Homo-oligomer: A and B are copies of this chain.
Amino acid sequence: MYFASDNACPVHPQVMQALNAANSGYAPSYGGDEIMDRVRAQIRDIFEAPEAAVYLVATGTAANVLSLACLTRPWDAVYCHELAHIQMDEAGAPEFYTAGVKLKPVAGADAKMTPDTLKQALSTVDHGSVHSVQNGALSLTNVTELGTTYSVAEITALSGIAKQAGMKVHLDGARFANALVALGCSAAEMTWKAGVDVVSFGGTKNGLMGVEAVVIFDPRLAWEFELRRKRGAHLFSKHRYLSAQMEAYLSDGLWLELARHSNGMAAVLAEAISALPGGSLAHPVEANMVFANWPASGHQAAKTAGAQFHHWPHGESCEGKAPDTPVCARLVTSWSTTMEDLDAFLKLAAR
C-alpha cells in the first residue's frame, strides 16, 4: 500500500534485464555508445521529429533546468504555474542553471494555467523595458502537479500566447507517458505540433532507475545543451547504462503500457473513494494521481495499517480530527501498484 510517490517504486524487470544485458565488455563513454544511437532513433521516431536533438540525463530536475537554461538568457522571466515543480520543489535549481531567471508564478485551478491567468502574469512584466526582466520561456507541466492534464488544444492556446510574447515553450513531462495515454494523442501532437520547443521526457517515475530524455526540436540548440549538461556535471561516463534503460522503456510500447496501468489504478482509486460516504475528489483525476477527501477515520485506519501517502496540502493531517471529518490526501499510483494494494487500501479507507 504505497501511494506516497511514483519515484519510490522499483525498476521494471525488463529495464533491469536491459541493464544486465548491457553489462558486457567495453563501450564508448559519454553518449558515444551504440545503444544511444538506437535510442535517438526511437525518440525521433516517436516524436516524428527526424532532426530533434536527444539527450539523456539522470534526474528530472536536470532535464528541466538544462532545458530552461537553453531557452532563456539570465535576465529573462520563465512563466510557470504557481505549483509547478520548477517553482516549488527544485530548491532554486532553475535559478542556478539559468544564472538567475525570475520564475513568474501563474495562477489557475487544478494546477493549470489558463490563457487569462497567463496573460495576467505577462502583464506584470514590462518586456522591452531595460528596467524589467524580459519574456523568456513558458514552462507547462503535463501531467500537472495536481494530476490533471492539459489537452492539446489548451497547450496550443498557451503556446500561442507565449510565442506572441516572444517566448519559447518548455514541457515538463516528468509524467509524459501518463499524460499521453490520458489524452490519447500522439507525442508530436502533444508537443511540437502544439508549439512546444523542448520536452523533459520522463522515465524515472514510470519504471526506470533514473533516466530522463531531453528532446529539443530545434537542433541548433544541441551544442549549447551538450556544454550545459557537461558543465552541470550531468554527462555520464558510463552512459550506456542510461541508454539501455531508455531503450527497454521505449521498446514494444512498454512505456505506454506502464502508464496505462498506473492511470488505470488511479481511476479505480478515484471511483472507489468518491463512492465512500463523505468521499469526494479534490481535483479531477486524469492520470496517475488522486487528490481526494474521505473521512479521517479511514485515513487513520490506513496509516495504522502501514499505508503510505501524503495528506494534502502540505501540513494537513488526520490527527485529532473527528472520525467523519473529510481529510484530503494525495495518492500516487505507479507501474507497480497492484489491484491487491488497492483492495487492501480501500477497505481500510472505508472504515
Contacts and interface: CB of A to CB of B under 8 A. Distances in A.
Contacts of A120: none
B91 A133 contact: yes
Contact of A237 (B74, B90, B92, B210): B210
B101 A241 contact: no
Interface of A: 2, 5, 7-11, 13, 16, 19-20, 23-30, 57-62, 65-66, 73-76, 82, 88-93, 95-97, 99-103, 123-124, 126, 130-134, 204-205, 209-210, 224, 226-228, 230-238, 241, 308, 314-315, 336
Contacts of A336: 26
B103 A7 contact: no
Given A59-B236, A227-B91, A241 B130 contact: no
Nearest to A5: B29
A289 to B, nearest CB: 16
Given A20-B16, A58-B236, A237-B204, A231 B91 contact: yes
Contacts of A234: 59, 62, 233-234
A73 B98 CA distance: 12
Nearest to A87: B102
Contacts of A230: 61, 90-91, 93, 130-131
A241 B59 contact: no
A134 B95 contact: no
Contact of A90 (B88, B95, B131): B131
A308 B26 contact: yes
Contacts of A102: 92, 95, 103
Nearest to A9: B26
